[in-house]
C-alpha cells in the first residue's frame, strides 16, 4: 500500500511526531462499486450458512487477532497517537471480547422466535432473521479498530458481507485487519476495505449496500441519513456526544476525581462518551476541583512511543477546536487550573486541561470538544444539575456520582442520554451485552447488544395454520347473519 503521495493517495502520518507512515491508494466510485458487487456475490452463499458455522469462521478470525494483539496495539498507537496501553485495553481487548461474546450467542439470538396469537387459535406466527445483504461501515479515526471491526464481526455473524470505509486519517489499521481476515482462511470478498475520504464514503452509500453503519459527526451523519433515506436503505448512526457528569454532594471525592480524570482524558478526550462537562453540587466543588487538579498534574504526557498516560491528539483540525474553546472560556471568565496551552514542537499534543468557573453559555459547555478539556461548574442542587445536563442537543452518555445508588438511579432515569453510568465512566462500550447509541442528535439505532445485532438483519414474519378451517369469518361473501354473529362475539369477548 505504501507509495509516493499524490492526489490519488492518502498520506498517513504519526500525529505524535508528524512522521509519514504510508501512502494509501484512494478508492474511486468504480472501485467501490466493484467491491460491493464482489461482496454481494460472496454473501449469497454466506447467508445460507448456519449461524453456528458462521461463528466458527469468525472465531478463527478472532484467534488471528489475538495472536497479533501486541502488533495491533503498536500500529494503533503509531497511527492515532494514543498510548499502547490504551490501544490494547480500549481497542484490542474489547474487540476480541465482543467477537467471543457474539460467536457464542448469535446462533441463539438468531433462531426463529414464536409469537403467541391470542385471537387466532387455529394459526401460529414466528419471526425469522435473514441477513440484510451487504453492510457498508463508515468508521471514525478515534477508535479505528474497536469501532468498525466490532460492527464488521457482528454483521458477518448475522450473515452479511461487509465493505468498510475507514477514516481517511487512520486507514492503516483497517487495512491490517483485512490482511488478518484473509489470513484466517475465510472468503476474502466477505470483508473488504475501501480507503478514501468523503467522496469514497458517498460512493459506498450510493453503491447499492443494504444497510449503513456510520460513526462520526452530527453534520456528516445528517448527510448519510439523507442519502440512505433517498434510497430507502436502513442505517445506524452513532454521532456526537457532550457527556455531562453530575456530582452529588454525597459523592466519594477520591473515586469521583479518578473517574472524571480518566473519563475526560483517556484517548486525549477523543471519545464520543468523554466527560465533557461536570456539574458539581456546591459543598463538594472545592475539594473535588483540588483533587482533580492534583491528579492531572501527575499525568505523564507526550510521545506514546514512550511510557505515557496521555499521548497526542489524532486529527489536526480537532486540536484547533480545543484551542478555540479554551480561549473562548478564558475570555469569558473561566480559570485554567492545569494545562491550557499546547507545548512547542512537532505533533498534536495538548495537555490535559482543567477549567473552573465555567458557565453554561460558554462554547466548552455547549459544543462537542472531543479533546482533553474538563470544565467544572458549581451548581446549587441536584435538580439544577439535571436541568443543565439535559440542556443540550446531544444525548449519548452521561454520568452520576453519589454514595446513594438508589437516588443516583432515580436521577439517571431523568437524564436524557442513551446510556447513564453511575460511579463510573466510558466502560459500557466495552460491554458487548449493552446497547450503544444516543438520543436527540446523538444518533439513530444501536450497536452492540441484542438490539445492535437485530439492526443487522431483516425481521420477517411467517404465519401458518395449525389446523384447517373451510372459511374465515372475515372472508367474502358478507352476510347479515355473520355480521350479527360478530357483534355477539365482540360483546362476549370485549364487553
Question: Which residues are tagged catalytic?
Answer: 238, 272
Q: Quick one: which of 280, 288, 293 has its CA closest to 353?
A: 293
* CA gap 114, 124 in Å, rounded: 8
* CA gap 343, 347 in Å, rounded: 9
**Cis ω for the linkage preceding 474 (within 30 of 0):** no
Question: Does an H or E element contain 96, and which?
Answer: helix 93-109
| Torsion sign, CA atoms 325, 331, 334, 336 | positive
* CA gap 327, 321 in Å, rounded: 10
* CA gap 301, 340 in Å, rounded: 13
34 conformational bin, left if phi > 0, alpha if psi -120 to 50, beta if neither: alpha
Q: Quick one: which of 1, 474, 358 has its CA closest to 193?
A: 1
Question: How many CB atoms neighbour CB 410 within 10 A?
Answer: 12
Is residue 216 within 8 A of residue 54, CB to CB? The reply is: no
* CA gap 197, 391 in Å, rounded: 33
Cell 500500500 appears where?
A: 1
Q: Quick one: which of 102, 97, 117, 124 has its CA closest to 51?
A: 102
Torsion of CA 305, 309, 311, 314, to 10 degrees: 120
Is residue 324 within 8 A of residue 363, CB to CB? The reply is: yes
Largest Cα separation within the chain, whole Å, is 91
* CA gap 15, 151 in Å, rounded: 26
* CA gap 32, 198 in Å, rounded: 13
Amino acid at each position: 500500500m505504501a507509495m509516493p503521495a499524490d492526489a490519488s493517495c492518502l498520506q498517513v502520518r504519526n500525529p505524535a511526531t508528524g512522521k509519514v507512515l504510508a501512502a494509501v491508494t484512494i478508492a474511486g466510485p468504480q472501485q467501490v462499486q466493484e467491491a460491493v458487487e464482489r461482496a454481494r456475490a460472496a454473501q449469497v452463499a454466506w447467508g445460507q450458512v448456519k449461524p453456528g458455522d458462521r461463528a466458527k469462521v469468525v472465531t478463527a478470525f478472532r484467534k488471528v487477532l489475538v495472536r497479533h494483539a501486541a502488533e495491533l496495539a503498536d500500529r494503533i498507537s503509531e497511527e492515532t497517537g494514543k498510548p499502547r496501553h490504551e490501544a490494547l485495553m480500549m481497542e484490542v481487548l474489547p474487540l476480541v471480547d465482543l467477537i467471543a461474546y457474539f460467536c457464542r450467542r448469535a446462533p441463539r439470538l438468531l433462531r426463529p422466535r414464536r409469537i403467541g396469537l391470542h385471537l387466532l387459535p387455529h394459526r401460529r406466527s414466528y419471526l425469522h432473521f435473514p441477513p440484510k445483504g451487504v453492510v457498508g461501515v463508515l468508521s471514525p479515526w478515534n477508535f479505528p479498530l474497536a469501532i468498525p471491526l466490532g460492527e464488521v464481526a457482528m454483521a458477518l455473524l448475522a450473515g452479511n458481507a461487509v465493505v468498510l470505509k475507514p477514516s481517511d486519517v487512520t486507514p492503516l489499521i483497517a487495512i491490517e485487519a483485512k490482511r488478518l481476515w484473509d489470513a484466517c482462511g475465510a472468503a476474502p470478498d466477505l470483508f473488504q476495505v475501501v480507503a478514501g475520504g468523503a467522496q469514497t464514503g458517498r460512493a459506498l452509500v450510493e453503491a447499492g449496500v443494504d444497510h449503513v453503519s456510520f460513526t462520526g459527526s452530527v453534520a456528516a451523519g445528517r448527510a448519510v441519513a439523507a442519502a440512505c433515506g433517498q434510497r430507502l436503505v436502513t442505517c445506524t448512526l452513532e454521532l456526537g456526544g457532550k457527556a455531562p457528569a453530575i456530582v452529588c454532594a454525597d459523592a466519594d471525592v477520591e473515586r469521583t476525581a479518578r473517574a472524571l480524570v480518566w473519563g475526560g482524558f483517556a484517548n486525549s478526550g477523543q471519545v464520543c462518551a468523554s466527560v465533557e462537562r461536570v456539574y458539581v453540587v456546591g459543598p463538594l466543588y472545592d475539594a473535588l476541583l483540588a483533587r482533580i487538579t492534583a491528579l492531572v498534574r501527575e499525568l505523564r504526557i507526550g510521545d506514546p512511543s514512550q511510557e505515557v498516560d496521555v499521548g497526542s491528539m489524532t486529527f489536526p483540525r480537532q486540536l484547533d477546536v480545543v484551542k478555540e474553546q479554551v480561549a473562548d472560556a478564558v475570555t469569558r471568565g473561566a480559570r485554567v487550573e492545569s494545562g491550557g496551552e499546547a507545548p512547542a514542537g512537532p505533533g498534536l499534543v495538548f495537555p490535559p486541561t482543567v477549567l473552573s468557573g465555567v458557565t453554561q453559555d460558554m462554547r466548552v459547555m455547549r459544543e462537542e470538544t472531543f479533546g482533553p478539556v474538563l470544565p467544572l461548574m458549581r451548581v446549587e442542587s441536584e435538580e439544577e444539575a439535571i436541568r443543565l445536563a439535559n440542556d443540550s442537543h446531544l444525548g449519548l452518555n452521561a454520568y452520576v456520582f453519589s454514595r446513594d445508588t438508589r437516588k443516583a438511579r432515580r436521577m439517571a432515569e431523568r437524564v436524557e442520554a442513551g446510556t447513564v453510568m453511575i460511579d463510573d465512566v466510558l466502560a459500557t462500550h466495552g460491554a458487548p451485552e449493552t446497547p450503544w447509541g444516543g438520543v436527540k442528535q446523538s444518533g439513530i439505532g444501536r450497536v452492540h447488544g441484542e438490539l445492535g445485532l437485530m439492526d443487522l438483519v431483516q425481521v420477517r414474519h411467517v404465519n401458518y395454520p395449525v389446523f384447517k378451517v373451510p372459511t374465515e369469518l372475515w372472508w367474502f361473501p358478507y352476510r347479515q347473519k355473520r355480521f350479527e354473529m360478530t357483534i355477539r362475539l365482540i360483546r362476549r369477548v370485549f364487553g
